[in-house]
Amino acid sequence: MTDHDVRVLDDSQYRTAHTLFRGTLHHPPAPDDQWKFAQESYVPGCTWGAFADGEMIGTVQSFPSSLAVPGGAVVPHAAVSRVGVRADWTRRGVLSALQRAQLRELRSRGDVAASLRASETAIYGRYGYGIATRYRFLRIDRREAAPRTRPVGRVRFVEGEAGERIARGLFEELSPQRAGTISRWPAWWGLSIRRVAAEENLRIAVRSGGSGDDGYVVFKVVPGDHGSADGPPTRLSVMDLWARDAEAWADLWLFVLGIDLVDEVVTLGRPLDEPLEWLLGDRRACRVVDHADEAWLRLLDVPAALSARTYRSSEPVVLGVRDAYLPENAGSYRVTADGVTRVDDAPELVLDVDVLASAYLGDVSFSTLAATRRLDVVDPAALARADALFAVSEVPWCGTYF
């Protein structure tokens, strides 16, 4: 028997939930000027709270979104965020109750998958989330970079609402072309662009080629001490960059690297396969600061998720899936180059739903998962077939922090 209950919150409870969540990250309540942006992001019916003795002790929220999967399809998706349990109520089943209620609700309303950003890696695997995309952080010595080429198109600053409108339109056009990307809900732009622009020196630059606007970059500059060799460097942070093709992509990076009075250019979570070093005359000017897990993916409807993506040519494999929180997903699935069917056949590989989520977008192979004892191998020959079927030509990447 639990000593707490879980229910959907109404708009009168959103600020309490927001304050509770911030408190779990050791931040004070949001001041009024920040809360006005956060308030817009609370969607009716998408925030849950746990209560004990009349007090809120935990919360979890989601944003309506969609997810691009290998092959070009886009499926209904929930972006899960603001997960927190008060420190005096942790390890008493509160988060498990919140997760159980949320996962069940998301599946029932038609979401095929959910994803989140994990503050701690030990938490979410137990609820069926697996690391599905990764990214890297770079630091570039701009003065040493010496780009090998010059821009061929036009890059211009576009300020305010006009810049956001162009960036938003390009993002909605371009992002679904890469597996792992998610759609951005309206309030994302308010929190991530308008709020930051109001507080910091955020700029939007748009690239134009022969067919019009075809890429954009959002960045901010933190000035250093230009008059002292011992002072802090002037740092330009690339927050968001999307391009229609390689030419637009190169021009945007060349524009950023050509901005005067900047010492360092840093990136905040770019794709693992982005070939930025090859633009530079001195590759050593670009250093990888970190590799990190990005999207933690939860397959809410395994049959729908497996059927939504495409597969490479190979002989079939039968996967056995286990799912403790959504047991209707459990069973055997025959995966072929032509599609997926739920079957009664004995599985050749058996794995939990979080491990399937890690392999789903193609970021990790079944052979790697087997070598690290993350799945049970019934037929060793099935590994090569599964690897071939789930292989992708481009590393998955989300590119949206929330």
Q: Could you list the pLDDT tens digit for every one of the 402 residues in the chain? A: 468 999 999 999 999 999 999 999 999 999 999 999 999 999 999 999 999 999 999 999 999 999 999 999 999 999 999 999 999 999 999 999 999 999 999 999 999 999 999 999 999 999 999 999 999 999 999 999 999 999 999 999 999 999 999 999 999 999 999 999 999 999 999 999 998 887 888 999 999 999 999 999 999 999 998 766 678 999 999 999 999 999 999 999 999 999 999 999 999 999 999 999 999 999 999 999 999 999 999 999 999 999 999 999 999 999 999 999 999 999 999 999 999 999 999 999 999 999 999 999 999 999 999 999 999 999 999 999 999 999 999 999 999 999
* Residue 43 near residue 63 (C-beta atoms within 8 A): yes
Cα 225 to Cα 229, 234, 271, distances in angstroms: 8, 7, 31
pLDDT of residue 199: 81
Report residue 338 CA to chain centroid gap.
Answer: 28
- For each of the domains in the chain, give its residue range(s) and CATH number, in order of start: 5-132 (3.40.630.30), 135-293 (3.40.630.30), 311-390 (3.30.1050.10)
Say which DSSP state 119 is in.
Answer: S
Q: What is the pTM of this model?
A: 0.95
pLDDT of residue 228: 66
End-to-end CA distance of the chain: 34
Cα 174 to Cα 189, 256, 317, 348, distances in angstroms: 16, 20, 33, 38
Active centre residues (catalytic): 124, 402
CA distance 174 to 143: 31
Beta carbons within 8 Å of 219's beta carbon, 6+ residues apart = 202, 203, 205, 236, 237, 238, 239, 256
DSSP bridge pairs for 376: 350
